[in-house]
Amino acid sequence: MPIITSPQEFNTEDLYVDLRPVLGTGLFLKCEGFNFAGSIKLKAAAAMVEQAERSGLLHEGAVLVESSSGNLGVALAMIAANKGYRFVCVTDTRCNLSTRRLMETMGAEVRTVTRPAAEGGYLGARLEYVRRLCASDPRYVWLNQYANPDNWAAHYRSTAPAIADRFPDLDVLFVGAGTTGTLMGCARYFRESGRPVTIVAVDVQGSVTFGGPAGTRRVPGLGAGVRPQLLDRSYLDDVVIASEAETIRTCRRLARSGYLFGGSTGTVIAGARRWLATYRADTPVTAVAISPDLGERYLDTVYQESWVRDVYGDAVHAGEGAGVR
């Protein structure tokens, strides 16, 4: 086991779950939640902070600020605490209570946007709040995960090569679309490597990332109310859209087998299973999906029966006999 001197130094890169015994689908799940930040966002957070320091943008006395629905905020709160920076996370009402408490425990200041913007929804409102904050005080440094190339570069250098090494015969890779940092880093790597890997993006209903109509999204993580600046569709082979009901059913099915994953992971798996059933049902295939996080932060939402019924009614349970099982 390694000996570390800062929490961001540790990340488990080589853990995969074979989902066939649980879900009956030939799909390997790359688990990215086993680090001190609890999600794949640690990679992007560390890369963006390190580059900001190297460029002189981030220095003693500067205040980190970022818009986040949760996981990146936790990763930045952890890094800021370790490095001695003040950090302000701008989130919205969909952010899980446990996530806000995690950030505050590590010394971050959490500011919650309570009303969506007319254009761009909650994300649009958060971005506007960050812009106003930066304009008010030159000490604020916005890493801007939505446009920062170090976001995707972190996965180009680490996540994608790790998958390529473990699965030299990889056929299909499923990656969730949030800021699209993970998606674009992996897609660029496999395209530039010349390997014939099909890259499938997984998004959620209500997200505008791939041109769909904006809608209410209650599970934080994937999706966006504003099209991500990092996205370049020319690197992608296909897109699959999952509903939040599918997300919740998938998460709960996995939990009944002892695997507690986050909402983003449930969405990616739901989309991957549907895509494989449609396009590769009768073809041997080596497929991998990326799991961004674990499920502890979703205990009061995705895994809470009263919350699910209040928000979705019987829609989640009505589909348990079909689709994702």
Q: Which domains does the chain have, with CATH numbers?
A: 7-31+155-310 (3.40.50.1100), 41-142 (3.40.50.1100)
Q: What is the pLDDT of residues 93-139, one digit of tens each?
A: 888 888 999 999 999 999 999 998 888 888 899 999 999 999 999 99
User: Residue 308: is it exposed, middle or buried by C-beta count within 10 angstroms (0-12/13-18/19+)?
Assistant: buried
What count of residues does the chain have?
Answer: 325
Element spanning 135, H or E: helix 121-136
Confidence of residue 55 (pLDDT cuts 50, 70, 90): very high
Confidence of residue 78 (pLDDT cuts 50, 70, 90): very high
Q: Is 11:42 a contact under the CB 8 Å cutoff?
A: yes
Element spanning 161, H or E: helix 159-166
How far apart CA 8 and CA 214 sit, in angstroms, is 35
Residue 175's nearest CA partner among 147, 200, 206 is: 200
Q: What is the pLDDT of residue 157?
A: 97
Q: What is the pLDDT of residue 325?
A: 30
Q: What is the pLDDT of residue 214?
A: 85
Q: What is the pLDDT of residue 53?
A: 96
Q: What is the mean pLDDT of residues 141-154?
A: 95
Q: Is 18:28 a contact under the CB 8 Å cutoff?
A: yes
Q: What is the pLDDT of residues 236-292, one digit of tens each?
A: 999 999 999 999 999 999 999 999 999 999 999 999 999 999 999 888 999 999 999
Q: What is the pLDDT of residue 320?
A: 53
pTM: 0.93
Q: What is the pLDDT of residue 321?
A: 44
Contacts of 193 (CB under 8 A, 6+ apart): 164
Q: What is the pLDDT of residues 216-238, one digit of tens each?
A: 888 887 888 889 999 999 999 99
How far apart CA 271 and CA 213 sit, in angstroms, is 18
Q: What is the mean pLDDT of residues 61-67?
A: 95
Looking at the predicted structure, is the pLDDT value of residue 28 above 60?
yes
Helix runs in 194-325, H state only: 244-255, 263-279, 305-312, 315-318
Q: What is the pLDDT of residue 312?
A: 87
Compute the mean pLDDT over every residue in the chain, rounded to the nearest whole number.
Answer: 92
Q: What is the mean pLDDT of residues 31-54?
A: 96
